[in-house]
Amino acid sequence: MLRGIPCTLMRGGTSKGLYFRASDLPDAPSARDRVLLAAMGSPDVRQIDGVGGAHPLTSKVAVMGTATRADADIDYLFLQVSIERAEVSDSQNCGNLLAAVGPWAIDQGLIRARDGITSVRIHMVNTGSVALAHVPTPGCRVEYDGDARIDGVPGTAAAIPIEFIDVAGSSCGALFPTGAVVDRVDGLDLTCIDNGMPVVLVHATDLGKSGAESPAALEADAALRQRIERIRLSVGARMHLGDVAKKTVPKMCLVSPAANGGDINTRTFIPHRVHEAVGVLGAVSVATACMTPGSVAAAITRPGAGGTRRLNIEHPSGFFTVDMDVAVNDGIVVVNRAALLRTARKLMQGEVFVSQRTWSGS
């Protein structure tokens, strides 16, 4: 016997995933994860018996619930569903799926739309921080069509500006969790930073790469992947993330001089595949490092210490623009504001089916 679970398939930014109400899933995390693995078709490299897209960017889930913070309108829990393993991780936020949370909540009647723009305060449960999404709602209905273009997504859609209010150190406890702007690990200079996403920045040339390689080429270099994973496991504890062997953070980001008019070029391991673009909050962390004197990123960009600036982060499929307002006083970095633009689209709505035995655990 099959059991249908109401859900919506949505694209958020450069990712895609299933959006659920928390009340439509089992309460116990272990049972919930079992159901989500079955819905996505994991573990299986093709995810052939589920709706997952056989790539980390399309094997994602957003779980929405009633806001548990007085300063938020809705709770958003992000879950990364592993493809090859029976694992579901809540160790990070996803700023891409975040882009569709506001439209989804309005469409579901959980948030009342205003004529024009509806601002939705989203509690990102994974890290306990808040984001403010401005959703276009002419005539009090979500508008998905528009002229905004983001690299990594074909065509155009309605613009959804997002502001991050209190994400610095949200996963690691501090913007620079090791206590230093630069650390020396495995013979390499690294910058470990967490402005919404724990990221480790390293010069691509220090790893024998130009930074212009395609994701496929980097993934095909077994020696490179092994060294990057060795470094990631080493710095995880220093970043107060504990044993990260089975976690999706920190992300490892190879940086190099911009090649196409941007401010810095990136290739990001997430953590075992290479992103075809760059994660939303990963880009915010990179942009913050660019504005921090002495960091690995600043050595390439030299944008100046702090201030207000628009930074264009290059990635394999284009640019990611981040508006930053950073203050640097006596070596202390304070992030006043980080904002960016995303788009989203509703793809399909209905039920995803799993067996009743999977649901009950029998």
Quote the radius of gyration of the chain (alpha carbons, Å): 20
As its CATH architecture, domain 183-341 has Roll (3.10)
Position 148 scores a pLDDT of 97
Greatest C-alpha distance within the chain: 65
The answer to whether 57 and 15 have CB atoms below 8 angstroms apart is yes
Which ranges in the chain are annotated with CATH 3.10.310.10?
2-159+344-360, 183-341
Neighbours of 317 (CB within 10 A): 16
Q: Supply the pTM of this predicted model.
A: 0.91
Angle at 146 (CA atoms; ends 143, 147), nearest 5 degrees: 160
The answer to whether 177 and 358 have CB atoms below 8 angstroms apart is no
Give yes or no for residue 98 having a pLDDT over 90.
Answer: yes
Q: How distant, in Å, are the alpha carbons of 4, 199, 268, 332, 335 from that of 265?
A: 44, 15, 10, 25, 22
CATH number of 2-159+344-360: 3.10.310.10
Band (303; pLDDT cuts 50, 70, 90): low
Position 159 scores a pLDDT of 97
Position 104 scores a pLDDT of 98
196 three-class SS: coil
Of all residues in the chain, the percent with pLDDT exceeding 70 is: 99
- Span 263-276, average pLDDT: 96
Per residue in 142-186, pLDDT tens? Answer: 999 999 999 999 999 999 999 998 899 999 999 999 999 999 999
Cα–Cα distance, 5 to 63 (Å, whole number): 13
Take residue 294 and report the two structure tokens written for it: 């002495």
AA letter at 9: L
Cα–Cα distance, 121 to 132 (Å, whole number): 5
Arithmetic mean of pLDDT over the chain: 96
Alpha helices in 162-238 (DSSP H): 215-219, 222-238
- Span 10-31, average pLDDT: 98
Give yes or no for residue 101 having a pLDDT over 70.
Answer: yes
Give yes or no for residue 360 having a pLDDT over 80.
Answer: yes
Question: Among 66-80, 98-112, 241-255, 298-312, which stretch is predicted with the lowest mean pLDDT?
Answer: 298-312
Band (305; pLDDT cuts 50, 70, 90): low
Band (289; pLDDT cuts 50, 70, 90): very high
In terms of Cβ atoms closer than 10 Å to its own Cβ (0-12, 13-18, 19+), residue 11 is buried
Give yes or no for residue 245 having a pLDDT over 80.
Answer: yes
